[in-house]
Each structure stands twice: as structure tokens, then as C-alpha cells.
Copies of this chain bind each other. A is one copy, B any other.
Amino acid sequence: MSGSARERLLEAASDLFYHEGITTTGIDRVIARAQVAKASLYNNFASKDDLVTAYLEVELARVEQVLAALPRDTVGGATLALFDDLAAAAQRPDFVGCPFLNAAVELGGDAPARRVIDAFVARLAGFFLEDLAGDGARATQLLVCYQGAMAAQRLTPGSSLVRAARDMAHKIVEAARARTTSPTVTSAPTPVR
């Protein structure tokens, strides 16, 4: 037991919301895990929706950290490392896919946390686009691969599909590198939305 009530609440909420699901995790379970009084929760967060939003903001910050730590020596190098990390993470038994995809499915289209979900996708799309030096078509393909891997983790946990998505990503990066060396432009950049 360490840190302020708010920190303990966020830690407990992250763990429970991610592994057990958002809607199935009640407020009481969160405060019991955090060893915090119920009033302390509502002193720090306006509602459960607010706690969920804060949870996703923590996850987004974690993503930002991962992206920042990636090597950027060559075109697509960070992308390769990201998919390698992903394939490695999928081996861990407590990995249950992408928290943002899970939240998007659980919460529906009109939740306040949507803002954070949208920000995550925009960040990821921007990352691929930047790492591929503006090759929008292939950045979009990488986004499909990433989301396919995350969906596969829920649909068929333990399958080799995450690794297959990584292999596809590697091929796409190779193709993007070939494009930058040879001047053949295959298609115009496609924005995410």
C-alpha cells in the first residue's frame, strides 16, 4: 500500500478494467482492491465514467512511453520493433489485447471515454505515417495489421495470428523501403478518417 488514494485507485482500476472488463467491474471491487474508501473515489473522480476515462488516459500515456523508446535509425525501424514487442507481449498470459479496442467495444459509441480512444488511434496512425516517411497507403495497411492482431487476441487467444500480423508488417515495411529507394510511387497517401 503506497501512494495517494488517487494513485492507488488508478492502479487498481487499470488492473481490473483491463483484465476483468470495464462494465463487469463494479465500483466496490475497485475500492476494495485499492484499499480506499468509497468517498475518496468520488472525491477524486466525478463518476465511474470519469474513472474509466482516466484509466484510458493512463494507458495512452503508457503507449506514448513505448513509442518514445522505439529506435528510429531507419525508415520503418520503429514499426518493426513495435510489432516485435507486440508479438512478444502476446505470449504473456495476462495479455488480453488492446485496452482501447476492448473499451471501444464495451462502452459503445457515446461514452465520454471515446475522446481518448480516438486520440489513441490518431496517435498510432500518425506514428506509422511518420515512421514510413509519409507513405500513407502502407501506414494504413500497418494499422489494419495492428488492429487485426488485437482483435485476434480476443477472438482466438493463444493463436499464432499476432505473429502472422507481425510478419505482414515486416513485409509492408520492406515494400516501403523499396519504394523510397526506387522512385515508383504506387498510390496516393490515404488518411485514417
The prevalent SS among residues of A at the interface is helix
Give chain A interface residues in 135-193, CB to chain B under 8 Å: 137, 140-141, 143-152, 154-161, 164-165, 168, 190-193
Q: Which residue of B lies closest to A162 (CB)?
A: B144
Classify chain A's interface size.
35 or more
Contacts of A140 in B (CB 8 A): 160-161, 164
Contacts of A191 in B (CB 8 A): 160
Per-residue contact bits, chain A 51-81, to B (CB 8 Å; 1 contact, 0 not):
0000000000000000000000000000000
Contacts of A47 in B (CB 8 A): none
A141 to chain B minimum Cβ distance, whole angstroms, is 6
Contacts of A156 in B (CB 8 A): 118, 121, 192-193
Taken together as a complex, chains A and B put the C-alpha atoms of A193 and B157 apart, in Å, by 9
A125 to chain B minimum Cβ distance, whole angstroms, is 9
A147 to chain B minimum Cβ distance, whole angstroms, is 4
Contact of A154 among B101, B148, B165 (CB under 8 A): B101
A2 within 8 A of B: no
Which residues does A use to contact B, with CB under 8 Å? 20-21, 23-24, 97, 100-102, 104-106, 108-109, 117-118, 121, 137, 140-141, 143-152, 154-161, 164-165, 168, 190-193
